[in-house]
Each structure stands twice: as C-alpha cells, then as structure tokens.
A = this chain, B = another copy of it.
C-alpha cells in the first residue's frame, strides 16, 4: 500500500509516519519509484505497536526506539529483551540528585526485594521508583518501612506469575517478545485505570 493508505488505516497522520521513518522506528517501504514506496501489513502492525507505546504507554520516543531495537535484536534472549523493554518504560527517571534519604530507602527496597526472593531485576529503575515512593511516604509523615508495600507486592506477584505463564512456550520469538511488551504497557495502563475505577466505587459506597 501507499503511505497515504498506511496513514488512513493506522489513523497516524502522514507527518508523524514520516517522522517515525526518519527516526528509524519504522522500516522504509519497498521503493517502487524514485519518490514512492510500498508498505506492507507488517508496516501497519509496527506502526500500531509504536502508537500503542506512545499513546497508551506514554513512552517518550527515545524509549520507544530502545524497545523497538530490543524487539528487533534477534541475538537478545527473551529475558534480556524483556529487561530492556521494562527498563525503557516510564517511570524511568534518572536517580535524583544526591539524597541520603533516597539512598537509605533504596537500600531498604533492595533488602525487601531480596526477602521476597525476586531475582532478575538488580539494576531495574523500578527499584528507584519504589525507593522514591517510600521516601515520599516517610517525608509526608508516615513512619514506615518497605513492608508498607506488602499488599501490593502480593497482588503484583500473582499478576506477574499469570502473565509470564500465559506467554506462548515455543512460539515465534518476535511474537512472544511483542506480546510481552504490549502486555506490560497496555495492562499496566488498564490496571491503573481499573484501580481508580474500583476506588471510586468503594469511595462512593463509603463516603458518597
């Protein structure tokens, strides 16, 4: 198909598609004339993936590029690809300026993750996110340790076990990787939205 058709089918504006092409997020089409290229269903699918990462996952373009590169890197094991994808997902903030409270919280979080027996994420930015959350609670006056997260850790553990188990065992690597990345991004947005809707429900019952 021509680029205009790709734009129509994907709902992505033409200038955005051209931007993705320049940024290498989308492979060039097959040249059919000096100024014309042909795009396939694979292009449409990749465009939809990029759009999902940007719109649902709210990833900045630099992170989308890292995730796409990891998906396309055939030499990377599935676990390592998921690691790259995870680390690129927001919130992936750089460590804050030197902050003793945050460093202490990070040490607490690292011990906590160790006690949970969770491996495979030694350098994950998610640990910093958790430390940041813990420091914020303490600064707002709660005298708490990382066990304040116990309830959430339990639910997260149950969800993750089901999610990873549901990935196809001997499927096509590319499809499995994409499914895992999409699952993390899309169901994270869904889980967050559902928690708020459920909170609104229980708040209406109790306080409405």
A74 in the interface (beta carbon within 8 A):
no
Return the contact of A196 from the options B56, B121, B140, B197 (Cβ within 8 A).
Answer: B121
Determine chain A's interface SS by DSSP, over half rule: helix
Instruction: Digitize A60-99: 1 where CB-to-B-CB distance is under 8 Å, 0 elsewhere.
Output: 0000000000000000011100110010011101001001
A199 in the interface (beta carbon within 8 A):
yes
A203 touches B82 (CB 8 A): yes
| Copies of this chain | 2
- Which of A14-22, A24-32, A131-139 forms part of the interface with chain B? A131-139
B164 touches A199 (CB 8 A): yes
Measured in the bound complex, the distance between the Cα atoms of B64 and A9 in whole Å is 37
Chain A interface bracket (under 10, 10 to 19, 20 to 34, 35 or more): 35 or more
Residue in chain B with minimal CB distance to A186: B133
Further pairs besides A79-B204, A188-B195: 5, Cβ < 8 Å: A151-B159, A155-B159, A164-B206, A184-B196, A191-B195
Q: Which residues of A approach B to under 8 Å, CB–CB?
A: 11, 45, 48-49, 51-52, 55-56, 58, 77-79, 82-83, 86, 89-91, 93, 96, 99, 113, 117-121, 124, 126-127, 129-130, 132-133, 136-137, 139-141, 149, 151-153, 155-165, 167, 178, 180, 182, 184, 186-208
